[in-house]
Amino acid sequence: MNPTKSLSPSQIRITAGFWKVKQNLVHDQVIPYQWKALNDEIPGAEPSHSVENFRIAAGKKQGEFAGLIFQDSDLGKWIEAAAYSLMNRSDPELEAKIDAAVELIAGAQEPDGYLQTYFSVKAKQQRWTDFAMGHEMYCGGHLMEGAVAYFEATGKRAFLDVMCRYADHLVKTFGHGPGQIVAYDGHPEIELALYKLYKVTANESYRTLSRFFVDERGKHPEVIDHDKIIAWPQKRTLWNGRDYYQDHLPVREQTVAVGHSVRAMYLYTAMADQMRLDSDATLAPALDALWHNVVERQMYVTGGLGSQSNGERFTINDDLPSDTAYTETCAAIGLVLWAWRMTLTDPDRRYADVLERSLYNGSLSGISLDGTRYFYVNPLEVVPQVAEYRQDMEHVKTSRVEWFGCSCCPPNIARTIASFAQYQYSTSEAGVWAHQFAQGTAKIPFRGTELILEQTTDYPWDGKITFAFSSVPASEPWSFALRIPSWCDNATLKVNGAEIALDKLEKGYAVINRVWKTGDSVALELPMAVKFLRSHPRVRETAGKVAVHRGPLLYCAEQTDNGADLHGLTLVSAESAKLEAAPGLGDGAQRLRLTALRTEAPATTEPYSTELPRSKSTEAVLVPYHLWGNRGKGEMLVWMGVAK
């Protein structure tokens, strides 16, 4: 391991370009919209009940708990998103809304520190009995992450103190001591949240408890007991056995990703935290095996995860259907979280490349251009009239919707966009790593000073990136390492105008070791050739087809540009691609125009014929996958035929 330290989003300011537009959208549109949704104020949208449940639990209103058992978590993620947004821009009105929400949460907390509105309002006597689907610690974990982010953004301790009391309750309740419970939550989340809480409090018991939850998982068949499920009764089936909860084996013996894909990602993220922050090398073999399995055998080209709707889960290796894919937005975000922890543990572009793929494609597709519509499911092929009729596609939405009864994804994508800056840099005594690219200013604590890096770029639309150095620590040499993405051929790198050879990368990073000075500059150019990607032949559904990407972005065809029957398009060559502005898809967005063939309908009306198909020349217009569905309902296709 070669661990590095992350920066807080508060230490990096995105100043222009792609991510500035996204973060402005989150602040100006998404956060206010989601606050209304959490308060059930969006006409026609499914109600959330999240804030209302806290009002009832806090004694501010009379009523019954409503909604799903884990609705508390949505408010936690919303506060986290809002806190990150406050790091980017001061907003007293938003801060006042958060403070009011914190007051409700504090009022809902029980005297012993317990906090979960479902059990406080509806099932007080059944606390800590349903570890399969109770989501008690899952909700607590998301509230905890929100509290840490809000403390880091404002310095206010009220919410942090609430969640410390909650964590103290967990410390007393769970463990191997007298009267304690040996158990863990069926939905991992508290584990990684406890590490965050430990980071800001230095309370060793929080880190110890996180290790306990990770280490005990898979060792106690009695913990995940379907006979004790309270709010979501279900029988054991092929799809929801112990593997669904990643509870089928101790974590160090798990080598194949199984079960609910979001639960898996959050567990692996916590395992990676434990490996890095506690120097626990015993987790390394399992994490490495799981990484290879997920990325090489079970990940979609979008960076999406989960190929089956039943159980929102992984199925078997190489089973990656396009039209019935589940690929939940939260699963892609979970992969971003895991990939980032792996990057911090050992900077290697194989992790940072996957983070980039999943972030720009499988995650961002979950939100509309205006920030008020969402996808829970992100398929790679949609034919509306088919998806809206077939039972096995009932999970597929043919256009984004205002909200969901189960709305884990909308606030999750909001917090991901608002906190993007944290994925750009990391540090160690040896130097500074640049992992992801966006225009902005980073103030990096390094060797006793605050190094300032100014990054200028129009990434991901353009691959030219420059770094300007100021407030550089004195005279001793140190390394500046830049990721050279695996999708890039013929990258060039210059320091103060002099070219640096890129023939000896270190795990995919160009490492420049020198005595740096204020005024130095580094120019990195990543040519963004349009390329055809082909899946491994063992993936049946996409054999013989290609997906198109340019730089970090995957592209798709939409009916809006190409007409119906997209399956009749055959691409001729990647070299024919022309880059042009994409009207109606936001400032700076670019689309591709490629030479293609379109299959013509045969003269016969018979469904089967020996007649050879005929094709005519045409052009295919492709748009970034994450932007599909913003111009009305219609077909969408990622994997297309290719001329031989």
Residue 21 has pLDDT above 80, yes or no: yes
DSSP letters, 534-580, are ---TT-GGGTTEEEEEETTEEEEEEHHHH-S-GGGEEE--GGG-EEE
Residue 520 — pLDDT band, cuts 50, 70, 90? Answer: very high
Residue 232 has pLDDT above 80, yes or no: no
**Which of 144, 307, 126 has the alpha carbon at shortest distance from 227?**
126
Q: What is the mean pLDDT of residues 580-604?
A: 93
Q: What is the mean pLDDT of residues 397-403?
A: 94
Q: Are 484 and 526 in contact, with CB atoms under 8 Å apart?
A: yes
Residue 234 has pLDDT above 90, yes or no: no
For residue range 241-264, what is the model confidence (pLDDT) as tens digits? 999 999 999 999 999 999 999 999
Q: Which positions ≥6 away from 358 have C-beta within 8 Å?
A: 302, 303, 304, 332, 333, 335, 336, 339
More confident: 231 or 50? 50
Q: Are 147 and 206 in contact, with CB atoms under 8 Å apart?
A: no
Residue 238 — pLDDT band, cuts 50, 70, 90? Answer: confident
Q: Which of 330, 408, 409, 488 is catalytic?
A: 408
Angle between helices 72-88 and 136-154 (to 10 degrees): 20
Angle between helices 190-201 and 158-173 (to 10 degrees): 120
For residue 234, report the phi and psi dihedrals to the nearest 5 degrees.
-160, 150
Task: Indicate the range of 303-317, 345-359, 598-612 predicted with least confidence.
Answer: 598-612
Helix, coil or strand: residue 297: helix
Quote the pLDDT of residue 86: 98
Quote the pLDDT of residue 358: 98
Euclidean distance between CA atoms 605 and 586, whole angstroms: 42
Q: Are 478 and 513 in contact, with CB atoms under 8 Å apart?
A: yes
Residue 391 has pLDDT above 90, yes or no: yes
21: which 2 tokens?
């537009």
Quote the pLDDT of residue 137: 98
Q: Are 540 and 321 in contact, with CB atoms under 8 Å apart?
A: no
Euclidean distance between CA atoms 367 and 29, whole angstroms: 12
Q: CB count, 10 Å around CB of 483?
A: 27
Q: Which helix (H) or strand (E) holds 464?
A: strand 464-470
pLDDT, the chain, mean: 96
For residue 423, report the phi and psi dihedrals to the nearest 5 degrees.
-90, 0
For residue range 51-99, what is the model confidence (pLDDT) as tens digits? 999 999 999 999 999 999 999 999 999 999 999 999 999 999 999 999 9
Q: What is the mean pLDDT of residues 322-342?
A: 98
Place of tokens 């016969």: 604
Q: Which positions ≥6 away from 90 have C-beta within 8 Å?
A: none
**In this structure, is the dihedral angle defined by the CA atoms of residues 83, 85, 91 and 94, taken in order, positive or negative?**
negative
Euclidean distance between CA atoms 498 and 501, whole angstroms: 10
Euclidean distance between CA atoms 127 and 620, whole angstroms: 57
The burial class, CB within 10 Å (0-12 / 13-18 / 19+), for 538 is: exposed
Quote the pLDDT of residue 42: 95
**Which of 290, 250, 295 has the alpha carbon at shortest distance from 268?**
290
Quote the pLDDT of residue 322: 97
Q: What is the percent of the chain where pLDDT is above 90? A: 93
Quote the pLDDT of residue 250: 98
Euclidean distance between CA atoms 304 and 540, whole angstroms: 17
Q: What is the DSSP letter of 9?
A: G
Euclidean distance between CA atoms 183 and 176, whole angstroms: 10
Q: What is the DSSP letter of 191?
A: H
Q: What is the mean pLDDT of residues 603-608?
A: 84
Q: Are 486 and 508 in contact, with CB atoms under 8 Å apart?
A: yes
Q: Are 354 and 303 in contact, with CB atoms under 8 Å apart?
A: yes
Q: What is the mean pLDDT of residues 355-371?
A: 98
The amino acid occupying position 391 is: Q
Quote the pLDDT of residue 600: 87
**In this structure, is the dihedral angle defined by the CA atoms of residues 175, 180, 182 and 183, taken in order, positive or negative?**
negative
Q: Are 34 and 414 in contact, with CB atoms under 8 Å apart?
A: yes
Euclidean distance between CA atoms 227 and 220, whole angstroms: 15
Instruction: Note the maximum CA span of the chain.
Output: 80
Q: What is the mean pLDDT of residues 421-444?
A: 97
Quote the pLDDT of residue 118: 97
Quote the pLDDT of residue 448: 87
For residue range 195-223, what is the model confidence (pLDDT) as tens digits? 999 999 999 999 999 999 999 999 999 99
**Which of 422, 495, 479, 425 has the alpha carbon at shortest distance from 447?**
479
The alpha carbon torsion through 312, 313, 316, 319 (nearest 10 deg) reads 40
Quote the pLDDT of residue 631: 96
**Which of 213, 194, 212 has the alpha carbon at shortest distance from 202?**
194
Q: Are 267 and 191 in contact, with CB atoms under 8 Å apart?
A: yes
Quote the pLDDT of residue 283: 98
Q: What is the DSSP letter of 411?
A: H
Q: Are 620 and 557 in contact, with CB atoms under 8 Å apart?
A: yes
Task: Indicate the range of 85-89, 156-160, 237-241 predicted with least confidence.
Answer: 237-241
CA angle 520, 459, 635 (to 5 degrees): 175
pTM, to two decimals: 0.97
Residue 408 known to be catalytic: yes
Quote the pLDDT of residue 493: 98
Residue 226 has pLDDT above 80, yes or no: yes
Q: What is the mean pLDDT of residues 290-314?
A: 97
Quote the pLDDT of residue 612: 83
The amino acid occupying position 172 is: K
Residue 231 — pLDDT band, cuts 50, 70, 90? Answer: confident
Q: What is the mean pLDDT of residues 469-482?
A: 91
**In this structure, is the dihedral angle defined by the CA atoms of residues 439, 441, 445 and 447, taken in order, positive or negative?**
positive
Q: Helix, strand, coil shares of the chain as percentages rounded to 5?
A: 40, 20, 40
Q: Which helix (H) or strand (E) holds 595?
A: strand 590-600
Strands 569-571, 640-642: parallel, antiparallel or unpaired by DSSP?
parallel
Quote the pLDDT of residue 593: 98
DSSP letters, 269-307, are HHHHHHHHHTT-GGGHHHHHHHHHHIIIIIB-TTS-B--
Q: Which residues pair with 549 in a beta bridge?
A: 531, 554
Euclidean distance between CA atoms 102 and 96, whole angstroms: 10
Residue 606 — pLDDT band, cuts 50, 70, 90? Answer: confident
Q: What is the mean pLDDT of residues 146-174?
A: 98
Q: Which of 80, 145, 189, 312 is catalytic?
A: 312
CA 186 from centroid of its chain's CA atoms: 20
